[in-house]
Amino acid sequence: MDASKILGNHQLRSTAIRRNVIEFILNEGAAVSHQDIEKALPQADRVTLYRTLATFEEKGILHQVLDDESVKKYALCGTDCGGGHHHDDHAHFKCEKCEETVCLDEVSIPAVGLPVGYSRTSANLLIMGTCRACA
């Protein structure tokens, strides 16, 4: 899928910064940080980039991935995500050698029974190890 089609599917105008951010993430094939995007797109204004990422999260194009260093990263959502609702209850894998973080869409976060009075708003599952490329 290309960037313009993704933007159109989420009723967003196709601007250069929006296309560039999506294309960068598509090409990386892994979760990326705000800093990664800034380095790849040095012409992008920092505030515009923050707003773009926030819009993409809100519209269901991206979801946040937290890694073991508490760095917020972004990964593309599946086609079943949309504005106001994410279906990203899947595990993430971080390679300890190359430090790439990827979504494991086929690995669901298990349901956890919480004590009375507690309610879950989100959950993260990060699996650490060695990826196929580094094995």
Distance CA(82)–CA(61), nearest Å, equals 7
pTM listed for this prediction: 0.80
Is the per-residue pLDDT at 81 higher than 70? no
User: How many domains is the chain built from?
Assistant: 1
Tell me whether residue 61 is in a domain. Answer: yes
Q: Cα separation of 50 and 45, whole Å? A: 9
pLDDT digits (tens, 9 = 90+) for 27-71: 998 899 999 999 999 999 999 999 999 999 999 899 888 878 878
Q: For residue range 120-131, list pLDDT tens digits in order.
A: 887 888 899 999
Query: In this structure, what DSSP letter does residue 85 have?
Result: B
Q: Considering the domain boundaries, does residue 134 fall inside one?
A: no
Residue 100 located in a structural domain: yes
Quote the CA–CA distance of 18 and 56 in Å, as a whole number. Answer: 9
Residue 20 phi/psi, 5° resolution? Answer: -60, -40
Domain containing residue 24: CATH number: 1.10.10.10
Q: Which domain holds residue 18?
A: 3-129
Q: Is residue 135 part of a domain?
A: no
